[in-house]
């Protein structure tokens, strides 16, 4: 541990902390409830124990006389605010500074990140200086989080334990925050995260063609178009909902996402397939007939022109899973489905990564959900007709 608190005697407490050089130093504090206003007072007494005890005696005498310690507090000079460069920030101070940088502000996951910081990272690392956060603190954080249960919004804590993947996401955010501090030349030490950020081998499952047909049959029209477009382009839910008409490049046959993927900022250039063009034509025909258009130029909207929400999509998927009688999935699995089909069709890995917005081969591979039948189909060794890639679907991509 980098700091320890302990009671020395009545009203006298000691805080021991490790300096950047690795040495231990001490500070003493008086802690008592004053007689005048019945408030708890914590008053620093310096680093020498004998001098601290002498000051404590004077404070005790003042307290007997019902001294107004609030007046002394008002006369005390305001502590100099740390700038993070001459003196290192605490993590709590850096957490307040972190969202002010332009690239951080542009992250579409910023609201989620700030919630994770507030609920989990700040309570644990808040008092630690950025120069004193060691790997040992990271392992303690992992152990502490795995002992907790998930918080379900307004419902509070659930009975489900926090998963290793959830903790890994929080550590990834924490590492990103420290790296931004390092980039901005603040005083910081980035400890080793090796082995602490654990990723699953796969990032979800791909839907079969039979499952897709069953789902499309029970979706309402707007959800059908959204699902098919996601399947054709590998766009995530958040990026689909922010696609505007000016991002569609019909001549080149691609979609140009402004500022890259909303979650990561990585450049993504999805293909504008034949089926995508058909869907866009259907949407345009509906709008000409109803004379309803979204004021911000969004492509995918409700029939009245209002934006589609995440809650609407989750409701439709939950309902469709029950009606179609298929295994549970989430909308993000359409990315798995698209990438898996591209792999089956022999799309070059570099092209598929550019089209899906993946910056690493490792992440890309997590989304590809190939099966045993794919091996047999690729080598032509199976005596069973797999029907994995239909000629019609391949034609639609041209």
Give the CATH number of the domain where residue 60 resides. 3.30.310
Nearest to 164 by CA among 137, 201, 130, 190: 201
pLDDT surpasses 60 at 77? no
What is the pLDDT confidence band of residue 395, given thresholds at 50, 70 and 90? low
In a domain, 86, yes or no: no
Q: What is the rounded distance in angstroms from the CA atom of residue 329 to the CA atom of residue 231?
A: 14
In a domain, 18, yes or no: yes
- Which domain does 53 fall in, by range? 3-75
In a domain, 80, yes or no: no
What is the pLDDT confidence band of residue 397, given thresholds at 50, 70 and 90? low
In a domain, 348, yes or no: yes
Q: Which of 41, 75, 109 is the last residue of a domain?
A: 75
Same domain, 70 and 111: no
Same domain, 237 and 164: no
What is the pLDDT confidence band of residue 72, given thresholds at 50, 70 and 90? low
Nearest to 95 by CA among 76, 123, 68, 74: 123
pTM for the predicted model, two decimal places: 0.61
pLDDT surpasses 70 at 75? no
In a domain, 344, yes or no: yes
Q: What percent of the chain has pLDDT over 70?
A: 88
Whole-number mean pLDDT of the chain?
87
What is the pLDDT confidence band of residue 19, given thresholds at 50, 70 and 90? low
In a domain, 189, yes or no: no
Same domain, 384 and 285: yes
For the ranges 13-27, 249-263, 302-316, 370-384, the lowest mean pLDDT is seen at 13-27
The per-residue pLDDT for 157 is 64
pLDDT surpasses 80 at 201? no
Same domain, 168 and 235: no
Same domain, 126 and 95: yes
The per-residue pLDDT for 26 is 84
The per-residue pLDDT for 384 is 60
What is the pLDDT confidence band of residue 204, given thresholds at 50, 70 and 90? confident
Task: Work out the average pLDDT over 361-385.
Answer: 83
Counting the structural domains of the chain, the total is 3
Same domain, 298 and 151: no
Same domain, 25 and 157: no
Q: What percent of the chain has pLDDT over 90?
A: 57
Tokens of 292: 């309803």
The more confident residue out of 79 and 240 is 240
The per-residue pLDDT for 186 is 96
Same domain, 160 and 300: no
The per-residue pLDDT for 200 is 66
Q: What is the rounded distance in angstroms from the CA atom of residue 265 to the CA atom of residue 259?
A: 6
Q: What is the rounded distance in angstroms from the CA atom of residue 141 to the CA atom of residue 124?
A: 7
Beta strands in the chain (DSSP E): 3-9, 12-18, 24-33, 40-46, 149-151, 157-161, 248-249, 254-255
Task: Work out the average pLDDT over 188-205.
Answer: 85
The per-residue pLDDT for 106 is 82
Q: What is the rounded distance in angstroms from the CA atom of residue 361 to the CA atom of residue 350?
A: 9
Same domain, 331 and 268: yes
pLDDT surpasses 70 at 253? yes
The more confident residue out of 116 and 39 is 116
Q: Which of 24, 42, 75 is the last residue of a domain?
A: 75
Give per-residue pLDDT as tens, 129-163: 999 999 999 999 999 999 888 766 555 666 788 88
Q: Which of 183, 198, 231 is the last residue of a domain?
A: 183
The per-residue pLDDT for 16 is 81
pLDDT surpasses 90 at 5? no
Instruction: Give the domain CATH number at 317.
Output: 1.10.443.10
The per-residue pLDDT for 53 is 92
In a domain, 188, yes or no: no
Same domain, 240 and 336: yes
Same domain, 55 and 101: no
In a domain, 194, yes or no: no
Same domain, 44 and 137: no
pLDDT surpasses 60 at 128? yes
């Amino acid at each position: 541990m980098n700091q320890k608190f302990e009671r020395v005697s009545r009203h006298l407490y000691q805080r021991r902390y490790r300096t950047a050089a690795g040495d231990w130093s001490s500070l003493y504090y008086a802690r008592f409830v004053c007689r005048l206003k019945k408030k708890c007072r914590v008053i620093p007494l310096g680093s020498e124990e004998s001098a601290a005890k002498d000051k404590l005696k004077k404070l005790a005498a003042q307290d007997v006389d019902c001294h107004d310690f609030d007046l002394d507090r008002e006369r005390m000079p305001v502590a100099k605010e740390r700038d993070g460069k001459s003196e290192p920030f605490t993590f709590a101070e850096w957490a307040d500074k972190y969202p002010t940088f332009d690239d951080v502000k542009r992250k579409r996951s910023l609201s989620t990140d700030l919630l994770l910081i507030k609920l989990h990272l700040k309570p644990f690392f808040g008092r630690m200086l950025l120069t004193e956060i060691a790997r040992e603190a990271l392992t303690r954080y992992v152990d502490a989080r795995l002992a907790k249960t998930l918080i379900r919004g307004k419902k509070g804590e659930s009975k489900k334990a926090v998963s290793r993947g959830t903790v890994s996401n929080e550590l990834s955010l924490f590492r990103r925050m420290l790296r931004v501090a390092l980039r901005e030349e603040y005083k910081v030490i980035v400890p080793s995260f090796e082995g602490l950020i654990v990723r699953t081998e796969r990032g979800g499952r791909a839907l079969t063609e039979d499952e897709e047909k069953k789902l499309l049959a029970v979706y309402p029209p707007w959800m059908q178009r959204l699902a098919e477009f996601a399947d054709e382009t590998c766009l995530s839910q958040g990026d689909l909902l922010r696609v505007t008409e000016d991002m569609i490049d019909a001549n080149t046959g691609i979609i140009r996402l402004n500022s890259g993927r909303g979650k990561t900022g990585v450049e993504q250039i999805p293909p504008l397939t034949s089926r995508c063009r058909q869907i866009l034509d259907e949407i345009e025909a509906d709008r000409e007939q109803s004379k309803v258009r979204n004021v911000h130029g969004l492509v995918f909207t409700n029939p009245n022109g209002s934006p589609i929400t995440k809650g609407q999509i989750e409701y439709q998927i939950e309902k469709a899973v029950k009606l179609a009688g298929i295994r549970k999935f989430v909308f993000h699995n359409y990315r798995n489905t698209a990438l898996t089909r591209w792999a089956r069709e022999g799309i070059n890995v570099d092209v598929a990564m550019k089209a899906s917005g993946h910056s690493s081969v490792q992440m890309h591979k997590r989304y590809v959900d190939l099966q045993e039948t794919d091996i047999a189909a690729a080598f032509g060794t199976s005596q069973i007709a797999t029907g994995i890639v239909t000629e019609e679907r391949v034609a639609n991509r041209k």
